[in-house]
Structure 1
């Protein structure tokens, strides 16, 4: 391969992100038609959030096969789920002839070599400030991911939900007025109505909110004791208190 061709390959990896370099070799079979390439929608990386172009690791042979087959699959089966699409791709990948798989593996290995070269250049080009910013954003993203994971676990384990405040209870009563209206206009209207309430009118909502909060605290305490009993004290707010209470409960029994 000429020097120009090598530079062209490397340039494709940096500027366009990873794009298959099978152009010109795709005539092996219709399924390798690059016009059928498919880009998965993924969450932005720390570098993308900062506007930094980072070379992307090449897709493995199987994932390349899956992305290239997916458009045709979706065209024939518009309602297919991601799980079903992966299962279909996996089945047909296993049925693919050994020669084609071998060729794809060789091409992947070449792309991977190119990626490593570009990645090395990219890493060396980052300033200390950029590295610190990337590290900071990654930490924020990790914290957000852990928060989502914890929230999903709370939901699965039936953790009681914190009740609405008096203001949101009032807003809930006005939800019918939202139909056909702009959300910001609705919020502003409710805010003005809330401010115009008399003390007695507002007390009604505050009392309701307090009753819901008292119930929530009792339900949450019972849930936490249940979690400690299951060995999930990591999900409890005040571990020592909850553990002490459950020990007292066992002694009383």
Structure 2
């Protein structure tokens, strides 16, 4: 009985080994079929590799992330922009009680974010903190520039003048050679360099005309900005020119006022001199008459 039991145990062990090898082979074949992302190695987050914690989503963004799959499933034909608009409209129709769970989730996540941010900043060196502050200033400056550009566009600021090559490119971009934008631009640059001087002169003249257009439109636009109290949007050299003109006008007004004052003083002195002369002549005539002999 013992040899038979040993033989049975050996057979079962061989069967298990064969099943393991077959499973590993099928797993290897399966791994070759699936993308490599499903079998990426485990990444351990260290203090150096881990980045700053991400800011939590507010209540509206949480609602949008929750509703987006349902809206897309119900409306597969609409564009992503229309999906966002539809969800935003739904959010506006919600009552405060319906919005409260999303807002409370945001508040909890914000408190956790503060804790995680303090923990992250505590492990940074002074140089890293300084670099983070510099990056933040650059991001804020970029956002400010974008907001200012949007504001200028909404206020109708004229477009800058185009160069001669830009005018040539806009006219011939549709028929340019190439399958993408980069190749088209390259072919247009080659065509531009091969143009004759008299052919380029046409586009040069158009560019000069566009400069005149821009100059006139900017003058009208900046005058309008001064009228509505937005002198902060006027160019520096325009402000300097306006200040010089104002200073020049003030000086001219001062000179005119001073010359008028001198004329008034001169006229007063002349009148005073004339009065003194008349008084002296009268006095002298009186003395002369007094010296004449009296008639008997």
Which category of TM-score, normalised to the shorter sequence, fits these structures? 0.5 to 0.7
In structure 2, what is the equivalent of residue 209 of structure 1?
207
In structure 2, what is the equivalent of residue 56 of structure 1?
54
- What CA distance in whole angstroms lies between the structure 2 residues aligned with 1:242 and 1:192? 44
TM-score under structure 1 length normalisation = 0.63
CA contact (8 A) 1:166 1:205 kept: yes
- What CA distance in whole angstroms lies between the structure 1 residues aligned with 2:67 and 2:226? 48
CA contact (8 A) 2:56 2:106 kept: yes
In structure 2, do the counterparts of structure 1 residues 59 and 141 end up closer, same or farther at CA, with 3 Å as the change threshold?
Answer: closer
- What CA distance in whole angstroms lies between the structure 1 residues aligned with 2:198 and 2:209? 17
SS of the aligned residue for 1:177 comes to coil
- Could you tell me which runs of 5 or more consecutive residues in structure 2 were left unpaired when the two chains were aligned: 1-48, 250-296
- How many residue pairs match? The answer is 194
In structure 2, what is the equivalent of residue 224 of structure 1?
222
In structure 2, what is the equivalent of residue 82 of structure 1?
84
Task: Find 1:94's aligned residue among 93, 96, 105.
Answer: 96
CA contact (8 A) 1:227 1:233 kept: yes
Cα distance per residue 1:90-143 (max 9 Å; x no partner): 544535498xx49x84x6666555433322210111222222222222222222
> Shift in Å at residue 60 of structure 1?
5.2
> Shift in Å at residue 59 of structure 1?
4.2
- What CA distance in whole angstroms lies between the structure 2 residues aligned with 1:161 and 1:184? 24
- What CA distance in whole angstroms lies between the structure 1 residues aligned with 2:74 and 2:233? 46
- Could you tell me which runs of 5 or more consecutive residues in structure 1 were left unpaired when the two chains were aligned: 1-50, 249-253
Which stretch shifts more, 225-234 or 108-117? 108-117
In structure 1, what is the equivalent of residue 234 of structure 2?
236
Work out which structure has the larger RCO, using CA pairs closer than 8 Å and 6 or more positions apart in sequence. 1
- What CA distance in whole angstroms lies between the structure 2 residues aligned with 1:97 and 1:55? 25
In structure 2, do the counterparts of structure 1 residues 116 and 185 end up closer, same or farther at CA, with 3 Å as the change threshold?
Answer: closer
User: What are the equivalent positions in structure 2 for 1:3-42 lying under 5 Å apart?
Assistant: none
CA contact (8 A) 1:229 1:246 kept: no
In structure 2, do the counterparts of structure 1 residues 246 and 72 end up closer, same or farther at CA, with 3 Å as the change threshold?
Answer: farther
The alignment yields a C-alpha RMSD, in angstroms, of 3.3
TM-score under structure 2 length normalisation = 0.55
- What CA distance in whole angstroms lies between the structure 2 residues aligned with 1:67 and 1:93? 19
Instruction: Confirm or deny that 1:127 pairs with 2:132.
Output: no
User: What are the equivalent positions in structure 2 for 1:100-115 lying under 5 Å apart?
Assistant: 101=101, 105=104, 111-115=109-113
Which stretch shifts more, 207-216 or 183-192? 183-192
CA contact (8 A) 2:176 2:187 kept: no
